[in-house]
Structure 1
Amino acid sequence: MAYVIQTTGHRGLKLPQGVQGSADPNFACAVRGFAALFPHARLGGGALSVYLDGEPVVDVWTGCSDRRGRRRWTADTAPMVFSATKGVASVVIHRLADRGLIDYDAPVADYWPAFAANGKAKITVRDVMRHRAGLSHLRGVRPRDLLDHRHMEERIAAAPPGRHFGKSAYHALTYGWLLSGLARSVTGRGMRELMRSEIAAPLNTDGVHLGRPPADAPTKAARFIGSQMNLPNPLFNVLAPAVAGIELSAAFGAMYVPGVKSLVQRDVPMLDTELPSANGVITARAMARMYGAIANGGIIDGQRYLSADRVAMLTGRRNLRPDRNLILPMAFHLGFHGLAIPGVLPGFGHVGLCGSFGWAIPEEGLAFSLVHNRLLTPLVVSDQTGFVGTSALVRLGAAAARKRGFQPVAEHGSPFGPMLADAATG
């Protein structure tokens, strides 16, 4: 029988103090491990959600959503999840492909004619979704450019491919503009609107927004913890632009522009654009629900979300070749990545900067997501790699649930509502 996680025990089991929501008892260790990530109000907050066979079995949250540790995390709190946004934006493309509007092996220029400029006529949708388009480098982009998504779509359509075309080279920021330009050419709509209509609406959750949610939306963006210090570093400020300008600067050249830190400080200017590679404001519940449909053969709540054939295409082969930008084997495949270390974590999903992530393991019928609002804190290493430990505890809970049986829990948070005018400015 499912129980509600509270600040007090239940049926003799001492439960994590300050955790709210619902969880099946088989996942008690995962919930305790999650709670331990947020030992103090000033260390932020987060949420964990798990789906098994398309059913919710964990939906919990804890901690605070503001920098002073005064505003409690709620069922409708969502942080900016950075690159975990890529997995959600990719599902938009997969749903369009399911309707026959996009073919992975067709040239992007077939849908987006301007993209054929400067020798890109043969770059396919599959190349883009595997980070093999050779367009990862930012090439002198300025902070104000990053905030103008239409300009960046036009700019990337006009750019020549770089030396890594045909090889895996993580498109840290440009991936989003590539997908949004493609989707806009096919549908006439921007990715902000498409993430509402293709993700939030069919999943019946308000917890998916690209950029800042409208003021009257139930979903409220969490403030970042740890990104506000602005200590001067003159040597870095001199060297960084020069290093980033070199195409062989790997991930640095794919992410850095002068002043980029200012975009995530104070009121987070980065939330005021459409950046489908990084600025999704998404609840753990919404992300896990999306991956839960994928892990359940494309079905959620008895409704077909993706075709079974489409879902079968999403599992890529293990690939131990290092990515040219991340210098790690990422096995990018159709918008997701795996964990190439054998035996550690099967399946696929996407991890974002500092560790917010969503993941699906179709062969286990399991999907889960953890999101939080810590950014570049002293805990950065544990946050970035902590998804492996969280995943292990969740999988142990799922194995126990298979043996003992489980009951779905209540889903919290607001359902999808009517499209709000300022949510679709794309």
Structure 2
Amino acid sequence: MSKEVQVSGEYSHRFAPLVTAFTESFRAHGDTGAALALYYRGELQADIWAGKRDKKDLHDWQADTRVNVFSAGKALVAVSLLQQLERTGLNVDTPLRDIWPEFQNPEVTVRQVLCHRSGYSAFQATMSDEAIYDWGQATAQIAKESPWWAPGQAQGYSPMLFGWLGGELCRRLAGAERFNDVVQETIVQPLGISAGFGLSEEEQKNLADVRALESRYVPKDAAKLMTIFKDEPGGVTQKAFTNPMSIMVGSNSQAWRQAQIPGGNACTNARSLATFYQALLEPDKLLGADLCLQLRAQQSYSECDNVLKTPLGFGLGFMLTDARDELRFGSPDNSFGHPGAGGCVGFADPNRDIAFAYTTRDMGQSLLLDPRAIRLIDAAYACL
């Protein structure tokens, strides 16, 4: 696209340098369609977007354009499940089998699922695309699978199974037919945001297509992952991301967009994602005060996560900040959030009273925070 960038939306004078950094992301760092939103001290201070949203670059990104945010949507899964636990009086140490009788392993607890210690990080059985597009098939397979290690004994990020595990538990607790119905009723409608899993044809009309970021830069963590795929064929890391291959290549298809794949196909926009995180800074808006604290308290940490092979800490469904650029959600402590494949991210920083979201259609290769997101976060904090 042209290097001339027309940024739309609104922002406060204080955060004008952030808008400059957002513009630079198009001019120098490969963005062709993206949006950014930021709350500071409870007020929306920036809500901006620019670029195009379709494969042929014919249609402008608009205020309500949604995009697949991939794993950034795991935050919605976690909060929806925690809401149902709170509503029913259950706690995070409840065994899955108490909620989901068909689930064969009696040892797995909700806490273990939320902090990626369940051992259910990938399908062991070979899965077809059709199976992951069908909620009943996917969850039935998970219920009879065996974990990769004893539940609770190790941490291993669960890129895809996390979503079906959390979503099925949530659906059953709510007595709902579809997981997305629960998300709409308990998160989307109360906050007045736009987000969901499994879009109708009408909803897909303003959905951005995703594509590979035009960059020769391959982050060290991505290169490391490719080496693991080669050195450990059939291992948990390879299967977590490639069983089936549509996990990596199917996200523009109608089948992917219409299915409910909560670990990877949430569709939302930056303003909605930032509004969601802002609500988590306000006890009793989505969750009670105790759970608002628990979700960002460390539940698990590993110097070498069994799947991502990197140091990583989790709260209840959220990644926790640390000092490394690729996992620094604002302040180096107490912040929590979740990146998504390609570059999207949402987070909240209670220390500085910030909620931030960046969504993009141009998919980089970083496993955690994309360099574009890091630059934008740094620009935002320079404005404080």
Normalization by structure 1: what TM-score? 0.77
Encode CA deviations 1:263-285: one digit per residue, 9 max, x unaligned: 224x3431121011110111111
CA distance in 2 between counterparts of 1:180 and 1:95 reads: 12
3-state SS of 1:364 partner:
coil
Match of 1:174 among 150, 157, 161: 161
Letter in 1 for 2:255: P
Write out aligned runs for 1:95-134 (5 A): 95-115=83-103, 117=104, 120-134=105-119
Residue equivalent to 1:221: 207
CA distance in 1 between counterparts of 2:79 and 2:277 reads: 9
Residue equivalent to 1:324: 306
CA distance in 2 between counterparts of 1:135 and 1:353 reads: 20
Letter in 2 for 1:131: H
How far is 1:98 from its partner?
3.0
Residue equivalent to 1:348: 336
Change (3 A) 1:169 1:192: same
Encode CA deviations 1:314-358: one digit per residue, 9 max, x unaligned: 222394622111011220121000233369443011000011011
How far is 1:17 from its partner?
4.2
3-state SS of 2:320 partner:
coil
Asked which structure has the greater CA Rg, the reply is 1
How far is 1:305 from its partner?
2.8
Residue equivalent to 2:41: 53
Write out aligned runs for 1:85-96 (5 A): 85-96=73-84
Change (3 A) 1:383 1:163: closer
Change (3 A) 1:52 1:356: same
CA distance in 1 between counterparts of 2:318 and 2:134 reads: 25
| 2:10 is aligned with 1:22 | yes
CA distance in 2 between counterparts of 1:336 and 1:73 reads: 28
Encode CA deviations 1:40-93: one digit per residue, 9 max, x unaligned: 9x9531110011222211111001001221110000101100000101111111
3-state SS of 2:363 partner:
coil
Runs of 5+ in structure 2 lacking a partner?
214-227
Residue equivalent to 2:320: 338
Corresponding residue pairs, total? 357
Mapped contact 2:155–2:301 kept (Cα < 8 A): no
Mapped contact 1:76–1:218 kept (Cα < 8 A): no
134-143 or 56-65, larger mean C-alpha shift: 134-143
Match of 2:127 among 141, 154, 158: 141
CA distance in 2 between counterparts of 1:262 and 1:49 reads: 28
3-state SS of 2:155 partner:
coil
Mapped contact 1:50–1:366 kept (Cα < 8 A): yes
CA distance in 1 between counterparts of 2:80 and 2:256 reads: 21
Match of 2:296 among 315, 330, 352: 315
Mapped contact 2:85–2:91 kept (Cα < 8 A): yes
3-state SS of 1:355 partner:
coil
How far is 1:95 from its partner?
1.8
CA distance in 2 between counterparts of 1:331 and 1:383 reads: 14
How far is 1:39 from its partner?
3.0
CA distance in 2 between counterparts of 1:136 and 1:94 reads: 20
CA distance in 2 between counterparts of 1:153 and 1:90 reads: 17
3-state SS of 1:80 partner:
strand
3-state SS of 2:88 partner:
coil
Mapped contact 1:86–1:277 kept (Cα < 8 A): yes
Q: Identity of paired residues, percent?
A: 25
CA distance in 2 between counterparts of 1:244 and 1:281 reads: 31
3-state SS of 1:306 partner:
coil
| 2:353 is aligned with 1:368 | no
Letter in 1 for 2:32: G
| 2:253 is aligned with 1:271 | no
Encode CA deviations 1:388-423: one digit per residue, 9 max, x unaligned: 2222222222x2xxxxxxxxxxxxxxxxxxxxxxxx
Encode CA deviations 1:283-313: one digit per residue, 9 max, x unaligned: 1111100101112x336xxxx3322222111
CA distance in 2 between counterparts of 1:361 and 1:382 reads: 17
| 2:281 is aligned with 1:292 | no
Change (3 A) 1:108 1:390: same
Mapped contact 1:164–1:324 kept (Cα < 8 A): no
Encode CA deviations 1:173-230: one digit per residue, 9 max, x unaligned: 100110111112211222211121122101012x112122450x49821111239xxx
CA distance in 2 between counterparts of 1:30 and 1:65 reads: 22
Runs of 5+ in structure 1 lacking a partner?
1-15, 228-238, 400-426
Letter in 2 for 1:202: P
CA distance in 2 between counterparts of 1:316 and 1:359 reads: 14
